[in-house]
Each structure stands twice: as structure tokens, then as C-alpha cells.
Amino acid sequence: MKLITAVVKPFKLDDVKTALETFGVTGMTVSEASGYGRQRGHTEVYRGAEYEVDLVPKVRIEVLVDDDDVDDVVDVIVKSAQTGKIGDGKVWSVPVENVVRVRTGERGTSAL
Amino acid sequence: MKLDSGNTAWMLAATALVLLMTPGLAFFYGGMVRSKNVLAMLMQNFVCMGIVSVLWVIDLFSLAFGPDKLHGFIGDPATHVGLKTGTDLFVSGVPTAVIATFQITFAIITAALITGATADRLRFGPFVLFVSVWSIIVYAPIAHWVWGGGWLAQFGSIKDATTGAITKLGVEDFAGGTVVHINAGIAGLALTLVLGKRIGWPKERMRPHNVPYVMLGAGLLWFGWLGFNAGSELAADSTAGIALVNSVVATAAAMLTWLIVEKIRDGHSTSLGAASGLVAGLVAITPASGYVTPMGAIWIGAAAGVVCALAVAIKFKFGFDDSLDVVAVHLIGGILGALSIGFFGQDAVNGLGRDGLFYGGGLGQLGRQFVGVGAVLAYSFVLTFIIAKLIDLAWGLRVSRDVELEGLDINLHAESAYDTGGSSSHATSTSTETAVSGEKVNA
């Protein structure tokens, strides 16, 4: 099993969610996040004073998948989140030792 | 004098309008501070409504509006102690109780205005003491000088040597350019000088946490300000109407010119700029609102939008941390407005004002306005500085470093404004005494 984490632009969340549902992913966790990559932040102006805002709002999407599906799901996220402009975000995956469904106690892939 | 129900009805309504300005100001300021300090900001404004109202009824109204004592310095404190019955008529057939309450709302907001200069670092208890002492020693005398028939109201009056007839002149301040705005602005400067800069200022930028609050507050201020200016006629008549239209157009013009300055200087017209510009316009037209024509008001407002927008740079140049620009908006805007009467004032507007420089009145009124501005600046600055310094030495006006960094809300008030993410909480005790953790109380 793998945990795929995607940090994408907030307004692409619906596109990614729909694409993942269409692919057959049954669940995900979404949280608001902030950060920056190579695009850095942006400048805001309050009463003439400039403020460098380093951390840009993003959403973090986390999906647990079977090993076989990792590449496909990553592709789905990349395709649906892409605008081609700087600041589109990142997607990565890491191995997961075990997963337990709290309601039933099922373990491993059957808990996905 | 007979009771005038029309005038009384308007003053009842105007009082409610002006009272709402202080909650409006609280949100105007509260949106500009960081989220960890928003409740402390709101509380500093609301507590002014508490302390000043009580003091005003006990005796401040007498000090401000009683008959002259000490050569026009202060009103006779024995005149209206506790307002007595309050049913007697004060002016224009309006009961004393109504006029006194109308004036409460001015005393409240003047004290509340100061808090913008000292955001994010003022202790609550010492601030309450400061407001109490300041209202007695600074606000009441200045209100008497200008509105209570004191020495500024009589300044420059000429007594004919042969007939003994008095040509009444004096400093003109229709609704509070000197008493409210210059007074609060310079007091804010004095208080911020006693307190010092916030940790990290000006290197660390302290971004407004909720600009929509600022806009909401500015809207409430404008709404209430119609009562502030048009109510200052103390009657429902054509001069109140002039003050009303002036309070709309000057404000509108100032908002527009502030936005133009921003567009040219910074590249964008901002929401905070719109809110700030409209308040600057209201400040500037306040003293002049009953003395100038609507076209004069447009010029005054337009000038205020430009001057105040540029005046924001003063604090960076001189290095004092006037956190929310009370100096740029209220002090500079108030001076501009008070002096503008010397240029744009027209006797024809209400029959009591004097023609200004632009209308053939010469330099006389402008000179008297300078005296009024100078007297309020000097008195308020010196006395505020002394009061603040004494309280600071005796009790400490500023929060500790840890409290300032962690935030005033949880440390001074044991509350937080926003429950972000629905974090869990549970009762630790049913007694209010022990519900607050001991170490946080020492702010």
C-alpha cells in the first residue's frame, strides 16, 4: 500500500476530487495548507506598506491506494490539477506499513 | 424655553447613531490587528463605553458644559452632578438628559480613538485607569474650552469700549475636529511614545487579519457619523441638513482621492484604502461640517484623502509605532479640517460662522483656528504624556514580552476570537474563579 500526498492549488480541488472519484478512489482526506515552492510568495500592500507573503494557500489531498494503482492515481491527480503555470504544486507517494478500518478492525488492503 | 419635540426627537436619534460609532470603530481597528489581539482591541473600545458613560453622568458633563470657572478653563463641577433630574431644558428646547447623553457618546469615542495608536501591547487594567483619568483631566477641559463656552469659544471676541457690546468671535469647531480628533490623535502619539514600538516593528510586517471587518467598521462609522455631525447642531434645522450633506460628500471625495493616491503610488486601489479614505474625509469635515457649503466640503474631503494617505509615511520616517495610523488619519485629518474653516468658512451657511480667506473674510478666522489647534495639541500632548508616564511607572502600561508574542486575547481575557478547526475543549471547573489558568493571568 502507498500513501499519495498531493499539494495543489485550492481552486483545482474539485477537479481532482471528481477525477479521483471517476477513477474509482473511494476515499480521501483534504486539508487546507500553506507553503511555497519555487514560485515563492506574493506581495500585498496595506496603506502603502508592502508585505511579502511567503506562504501561499494550498490544499493537501491524501489518498491511500493499493501498490498497483499508485502510478495511475498519481497520473490522474497530475492531469486534473495541472494549469501549466508556476505554483501548480507537488504529488508524492510513500510506502504504508499497515492500514486499519476503525469500524471493523479489518487490516491491510481490505481496509482501503 | 419650551420643550421642542422635533429637536428632541432628532437628538434622541442622533445619540443612538453616535453611540454605534464606537462598536464600529472597534471593528475598524479590530480587523487591522492580528488575530491573536482582536478581542483585546474590541475590549479596549467597549470598555470606554463602560467607564466614560458612568463618569460622564456623575460629573464630567458639569466639568465640560457647566458655567465657566477658572477663566474659561473648566465648567463648574457643581452644575449637573449626577444630572440631577435631567428634565430641565438645556438648549433649543431639548432636555439636559438628552444633550448630556449625546455628549457621552463623543467622550466615549474620543477615548476609544486613542487605542488605534497603541494596538497589540496595552494592558487592560492600566488602560481603564488611563481612560478614567484622561477623560477628567484632558477631555472634559478641552470640551469646555470649545463647546462649553470656555476660553477658545470666546477667543478673539471684541468688546466695544464705549457701548460695551461684545462681538462674539472664537475658534469654530462644529462637531469635534479639535475636541475629538486632534485631541485623540495627539494623545495617541503621546501614549505610543510612552509605550514604545511593538516587538519586531517596523521590520516585521503586521498584516491586518480581517479586512472585511475594517470595511464593516468603516461603514458603521459613516452611518453613525451622520448623527455625530448633523446632531452637533443640537436641533433639527437647516444647518443640521448642511452638516448632513457635507458629511456625505466630503467622505465620498476623500475615499476617491485616497484610492487615486494608492493607484498612482502603489499600483492598486485597496479595500483598506477605501475604508481609511472615508474615515479621513469624515474626520476632516467634522469641524467644518456646519460652516461650509457642500462644494467646500468636497474640496476639504478631497484634500484630506490625499494628505492623510501620504501622512501614513510619517511614522516610518520618524520611527514611532502608531500602529493603526491614528496620527495620519485623526491628527492630520483633524488639523486639516479645523484649519479649513479659515479658508472655506462662509457666514451665509449658518449665520454664526465667519467668512474664511476664500470668501473675503481675511486671515482672522484662520488665525483663531490656528490658536485652537495649537492649544489642543499642546495641552493634550503634555497632559497625556504625563498621565501615561505616571501610570506606567506605578502600574506598567505595557504587557510583558511573552504576552505580546503569544497574543493579548488569551493572556488578558482568557478567550480566543476564532475557534479554528473546532479544537476540543472541556470544562476544567464549574467555578469561574479557577477556570483561568494561573500563569496566564499575570499579564
The single-letter DSSP state of residue A100 is B
pLDDT of residue B436: 47
Q: Residue B63 has which C-alpha cell? A: 466639568
Amino acid A45 reads V
- Per-block mean pLDDT, blocks of 10 residues, chain B (443 long): 94 98 97 96 97 96 93 90 85 93 97 96 96 97 93 83 79 93 97 94 88 97 97 95 97 98 95 97 96 96 97 92 95 96 89 84 89 96 97 96 94 88 62 49 47
Q: Is B85 helix (H, G, I), strand (E, B) or coil?
A: coil
Q: What gap in Å lies between CA B408 and CA B309, rounded to an integer? A: 29
Cell of B431: 467555578
Type of residue found at B426? H
In chain A, residues with a C-beta closer than 8 Å to the C-beta of B309 are 47-48
Give the residue from chain A lying closest to B203, CA to CA: A51
- Taking only residues 68 to 107 of chain B, the set having a beta carbon closer than 8 angstroms to any beta carbon of chain A reads none
Report the candidate in A97, A67, A63 with the shortest Cα–Cα distance to residue A80: A63
The answer to whether residue A47 neighbours chain B at the CB level (below 8 Å) is yes
- Find, in chain B, the residue whose alpha carbon is nearest to that of A44: B207
Which residue's C-alpha cell is 505554483? A87
Alpha carbon B191 to its chain's center: 15
Which CATH code fits B5-157+169-394?
A: 1.10.3430.10
Which residues 6+ apart lie within 8 Å of B196 measured at CB?
B321, B398
What pLDDT does B85 receive? Answer: 79
Any A CB within 8 A of B210 CB: no
Q: How long a stretch of residues is chain A?
A: 112
Chain B neighbors of A52, CB-CB under 8 A: 205
Please state, as a whole number, how many other Cβ atoms lie within 10 Å of the Cβ of residue B79: 17
B168 and A CB contact within 8 Å: no
Yes or no, beta carbons of A47 and B207 under 8 Å apart:
no
Burial of A44 (0-12, 13-18, 19+ CB in 10 A): middle
**Cα torsion through B3, B5, B10, B12, rounded to 10:** 70
Contact B131, B51 (CB under 8 A): yes
* C-alpha cell of residue B221: 462609522
Q: Which residue has the cell 489647534?
A: B373
Chain B interface, best mutation among A29, A46, A55, A60, by max B CB count within 10 A: A46
Q: Chains A and B: how many Cβ contacts under 8 Å?
A: 31
Give the closest-approach CA distance of B189 to chain A in angstroms.
Answer: 18
- Is the backbone peptide bond immediately before B202 cis, with ω within 30 degrees of 0? yes
Would you call B270 and A46 a contact, using CB atoms and an 8 Å cutoff? yes
Helix axes B96-114, B124-134, angle to 10 degrees: 130
The dihedral sign for the CA sequence A28, A34, A40, A43: positive
Low-confidence ranges of chain A (pLDDT < 50): none
Count of Cβ atoms closer than 10 Å to residue A3 Cβ: 16
The answer to whether the CB atoms of B265 and A49 lie below 8 A apart is: no
β-strands B74-75, B89-91: how paired?
unpaired
For chain A, the structural domain boundaries read: 2-111
The residue of chain B nearest to residue A31, with distances taken between CA atoms, is B421
CB atoms within 10 A of CB B334: 31
Q: Do B205 and A49 touch (CB under 8 A)?
A: yes
Q: Which residues of A touch B316 (CB under 8 A)?
A: 49
Please tell me if residue B317 touches chain A, with a CB cutoff of 8 Å. Answer: no
Question: Residues near B384 by Cβ (< 8 Å), separated by ≥ 6?
Answer: B134, B138, B186, B187, B190, B191
- Identify the closest residue of chain B to A50 by CA–CA distance: B205
Of the partner residues A44, A45, A47, the one whose CB lies closest to the CB of residue B325: A47
Among B205, B207, B266, beta carbon nearest to A48: B266
Q: Give the gap in angstroms from C-alpha B205 to the nearest C-alpha of chain A.
A: 6
Site from B270, B332, B418 to mutate, A interface, most A CB atoms within 10 angstroms: B270
User: In Å, how far is A50's CA from the nearest CA of chain B?
Assistant: 8
CB count within 10 Å of CB B268 equals 11
Nine-digit cell string for B328: 495620519
Alpha-carbon torsion angle B46, B123, B283, A44, nearest 10: -110
* Residue ranges per structural domain of chain B: 5-157+169-394
Nearest to B192 by CA among B49, B384, B415, B360: B384
Is A97 in a helix, a strand, or coil?
coil
Task: Give the separation between CA B213 and CA B233, rounded to whole angstroms.
Answer: 31
Residues in A 65-94 with any Cβ partner in B closer than 8 A: none
- Which of B266, B309, B325 comes nearest A45 by C-beta? B266
Contact A45 B268 (CB under 8 A): yes
Third-level CATH fold of A2-111 = Alpha-Beta Plaits (3.30.70)
Report d(CA B347, CA B367) in Å as an integer. Answer: 16
d(CA B260, CA B273): 10
Bridge partners of A93, per DSSP, are A4
Distance from CA of B271 to the nearest CA of A (A): 9
| Cβ partners under 8 Å of residue B370, min gap 6 | B339, B342
Nearest CA in chain B to A52: B205
A43 touches chain B (CB under 8 A): no
The chain A residue lying nearest B264, using CA atoms, is A48
- Alpha-carbon gap, residue B282 to B228, rounded angstroms: 10
Contact A49 B262 (CB under 8 A): no
Residue B359 is inside which H or E element, if any?
none
Q: Which amino acid is at A87?
A: G
**DSSP letters of A18-65?**
HHHHHHT----EEEEEEE-STT--EEEEETTEEEEE-PEEEEEEEEEE
B197 DSSP assignment: P
> What is residue B440's predicted lDDT score, i.e. its pLDDT?
47
A47 to chain B: which residues are within 8 Å by CB? 272-273, 276, 309, 312, 325
Which residues of chain B does A51 touch, with a Cβ-Cβ cutoff of 8 Å? 205, 207
State the virtual CA torsion across B91, B104, B15, B339 in degrees, nearest 10: 80
Interface of B with A in 291-310 (CB under 8 A): 309
The DSSP code sequence of B275-318 is HHHHHHHHHHHHHHTTTS-HHHHHHHHHHHHHHHHHHTHHHHHH
* Nearest-neighbour CA in chain A from B339: distance (Å): 25
Q: Do B325 and A53 touch (CB under 8 A)?
A: no
Output the nine-digit C-alpha cell for B10: 432628532
Residue in A with minimal Cα distance to B263: A48
In angstroms, the separation between the Cα of residue B274 and the nearest Cα of chain A is: 10
At position B186, the amino acid (one-letter code) is I
Q: How far is CA A65 from CA A76, B108, B215, in A?
A: 13, 62, 47
